[in-house]
Amino acid sequence: MKQLKRPTRLAPGARVAVVAPSGPVPEERLRAGLDVLRGWGLDPVAAPHVLDRHGQFGYLAGTDADRAEDLQRAWCDPGIDAVLCARGGYGAQRMADLLDWEAMRAAGPKVFVGFSDITALHEAFATRLGLVTLHGPMAAGIDFIGSARARDHLHATLFTPEQVQRITTDGKPLVPGRAHGTTLGGCLSLLAAELGTPHARPSAEGGLLCLEDVGEETYRLDRYLTQLLRAGWLDGVHGILLGSWQDCDPYDALRPMLTDRLAPLSIPVLETTGFGHCPDALTIPFGMAAELDTDAATLTLEEPALR
């Protein structure tokens, strides 16, 4: 697994597009998020369909075609420096095949931020564009609006990435050790759902795999991990970081299953590392060569995530 191409960092005055590839976006939260971005000295532009609601399926932010058009238009606009997702939910997989990946590749690299359902797009940006992306808070997300720590860590990653090249977490070793590899991952259920699709990578071999999820019972998380194991997708992975399990079963009940499924891999595993669906979530760059140290509870990137 190779380190991917790094986009250019942001500077005051940069124009950033906010898109909704997945679920519907509450207007008041979008307004609050745009205000935060303006406070950073950015020029945020809300995509035309960002507040749409699908006429039949209320869990989608507008039609698949409109959501894809917003993302592609923003990405291919030379005046846009970054594309930030407004929220997750569900729907990114439905529109991923409608994107013109050749045109997006020709448009060149730029910053892309999101998490949760956006995991499907992180995978696609890696395999189709060869691009580093940021697994971080979204512009209309409660975590972004309500958490100074989450905002500050994303801000540093966007503007001064050398300051957060070493990501210090509150994690603890589930399986102790050090490992080198390339960061990837996201929402566990989405990674399992991506298996066999056109944009999914064939395996996590050589990777430092970041896993988290929300609102899942332990047996479902067991099933997703077992699916990845049986498919051979975890063969050759170098290390694992476990993020948040918000609204899942209590962690004391979840931890034995994670140990049972992951410890036999005999690789370092760092748990409770504070990224994903949780307050104060850290931003984790995907596609970066890095070192995981479970004793120090750190992820150290070999280079800043953005140039």
Distances (CA, A) of 127 to 74, 92, 109, 172, 305: 20, 16, 13, 31, 18
Cα torsion 34, 142, 279, 208 to 10°: value is -70
User: Is 122 designated active site?
Assistant: no
Helix (H) or strand (E) holding 32: helix 27-39
Q: Residue 133: what residue type?
A: T
Nearest-angstrom CA–CA distance, 168 and 50:
34
Q: Which of 116, 147, 189, 244 is catalytic?
A: 116
Work out the number of other CB atoms within 10 angstroms of the CB of residue 103: 11
Residue labelled with tokens 């170098």: 238
Q: Which of 69, 123, 194, 212 is catalytic?
A: 212
Q: How many helices (H) and strands (E) does the chain have?
A: 10, 14
User: Is 271 designated active site?
Assistant: no
Q: Which of 147, 194, 277, 291 is catalytic?
A: 277
Nearest-angstrom CA–CA distance, 63 and 54:
6
User: If 0-12 CB within 10 Å is exposed, 13-18 middle and 19+ buried, where does residue 90 land?
Assistant: middle
Q: Name the β-bridge partners of 270.
A: 173, 241
User: Is 116 designated active site?
Assistant: yes
192: left (phi over 0), alpha (psi -120 to 50) or beta: alpha
Residues carrying an active site annotation: 116, 212, 277
